[in-house]
Chains A and B, each alone.
Chain A
Amino acid sequence: MNLHGIWAIYRFEMARFGRTIWTSLAVPVITTSLYFIVFGSAIGSQMREVSGVPYGAFIVPGLMLLAIFSESILNASLGIYMPKFTGTIYEILSAPLSPIETVLGYVGAATTKSLLIGLIIFATAHLFVDLPVAHPVLMLLYLLLVAAAFCLFGFAIGILANGFEQLQVVPLLIVTPLTFLGGAFYSVQILPEPWRTVTLFNPVVYLINGFRWTFFGQSDVGVGISLGVSFAFLCACLAFVTIIFRTGWRLKA
């Protein structure tokens, strides 16, 4: 195991994060505050409770995942896309690193950043609402699981992308709509049919509800299914990245 190599990539990526630390941290804090003002205060004042949980607290897990999804994809995809773009990828490709070691370095660093951002949003939310957490350890593990899965996903996008605009396509056109339609700001239960059934085909519903369960001990869908979907997504991303490295697709001529 090339531990020095993994650590080198990890530190390099964290240093990149460190150079933009203030924007990296300010953006999620400001965005979350805006969501709280719009959804929590304006709409929340009309809604009071969803499934027995005050609306302001109800949206926190969804807000955290919304940021985790986009930050994970953005950070992890840029992490591997930039070396491709500047040409410094030659050094990574010629280093004595196995695919798994390379992924551990890049995705490990991106996951760390996502976790930090998730926790900052969590802390920011406390400024606005009372936020009990029913299963704190499971909450952290779930956050880790989802962050790692989306960082792997972002890493794969970064390898496949042929331009900066392609980095944006999947997050903007797929992930953000699915998140907004995935019950980030509402309970699936309040939707009329057929939308309730249609929504259940959206995998993000399971990710958000599983995470919400760790906070409030209740969920629109079964926790087991949520965990299953999260793991399945992680495994799918892992398999995809493995195939890319095995074949050298878009990495090596």
Chain B
Amino acid sequence: MGDIVFDIAHMLAGGLVLVSFMLLYQDRLYALLNIYALHALMLTLSVAWQAFSQAAPHLYVTAAIALVFKAIVIPVALHRIIQRLGIHREIETVVGVGPTMLAGMGLVALSLVVILPVTPEGDPLAREDLAFALSVVLLGLLVMVTRRNAVSQVVGFMSLENGLVLAATGAKGMPLVVEISVAFSILIAFIVIGVFLFRIRERFDTVDIGALDDFRGERR
């Protein structure tokens, strides 16, 4: 059983990284949200597989939280926000797709190079998981850095958090309480950010954060 367990976990975590790459080049907002839902789904599967392979029933709760909140509630809510803001046609380009993808590959390579040598005696499953999780975190940051639209920055942030959850489940140690509190804090962050989105929109007629900088009267 050992090999197949490892392979499937590997595949799911790798899939998460792959979906992160998809987030990276997707410049339409609806598509971005759909990809994010896929991202959360991959996370759910990955966590559920971990729960099965580690025989840790509380991880099923984590998976359920991921499925309900991250794969359904948040994307749906963001969809409605975009509709109400009327920005679904907006296309944003800050950095070209090519350089971004190259940078993303560099980050994945970096996280593998960093994690694998420093944990030589760790459980191989946990090691791979950790390396993938770090890649997802870095790619999420990259999404946040390369986007100008506040909604897509929120998506980047959420995908970053998915990476953290992946790392936590792989480490076999995170208590349920911590997991639940993290999930709720993400939800609250989401609410706060949503409120802010509307406030920004109300004031500036756009959610392009470049407008904030213009308001502060600075060059970019």
A and B: interacting chains: no
